[in-house]
Amino acid sequence: MPPSGGVWADLGSGRGAFTLALAELIGPTGIIYSVDLDQRALGDQALAMQAQFPATLVHYVRADFTQPLELPPLDGVVMANALHFVPRHRQGAVVQAIRGYLRPGGRLVLVEYNLDEGNLWVPYPVSYPTWDQLSRSSGFGDTRLLARRPSRFLREIYSAASR
């Protein structure tokens, strides 16, 4: 669980389910950068955030997280159901870029489907064993499996934290 406060980003935030969860965890002293390409999703997210966590400062950034971003040094990044849209040959470069946004000791929390074979809707999932290798090769030193849950869509989903 992240400590209260801090500066975090939610990359590929969509309509903000994980942004809202992050706001609850870091509390009103935290700052969130919510990054997504879909302006409408960011707008929906802003309405939900204002209704549920009006004291939390959120910067809504319409951008592609696979491209360089203008972000301050971050205490953490949440990336839920987003990495599987990045083609396999680009995932390492994207994860390395994300690591570059983090302060020393910062964390990347990943939520992903636990398999390596995708489909039309989840083209490039990253199983936990693959994530463990990818995170290490991208410069993270400590990756831990946090939880696994059944998924009716693609068997299982997991969360992991990397420092």
Tell me the pLDDT tens digit for each residue of 23-71. 999 999 999 999 999 999 999 999 999 999 999 999 999 999 999 999 9
Nearest to 76 by CA among 2, 18, 144, 131: 2
Query: Domain-by-domain residue ranges, the chain?
Result: 7-162
Mean pLDDT estimate for the chain: 96
Alpha carbon of 24 to those of 49, 68, 119: distances in Å? 10, 28, 33
CATH topology of domain 7-162: Rossmann fold (3.40.50)
Band of residue 2 on the pLDDT scale cut at 50, 70, 90: low
d(CA 135, CA 55): 33
Enumerate helices (H) and strands (E) in the chain, giving the number of each.
4, 7
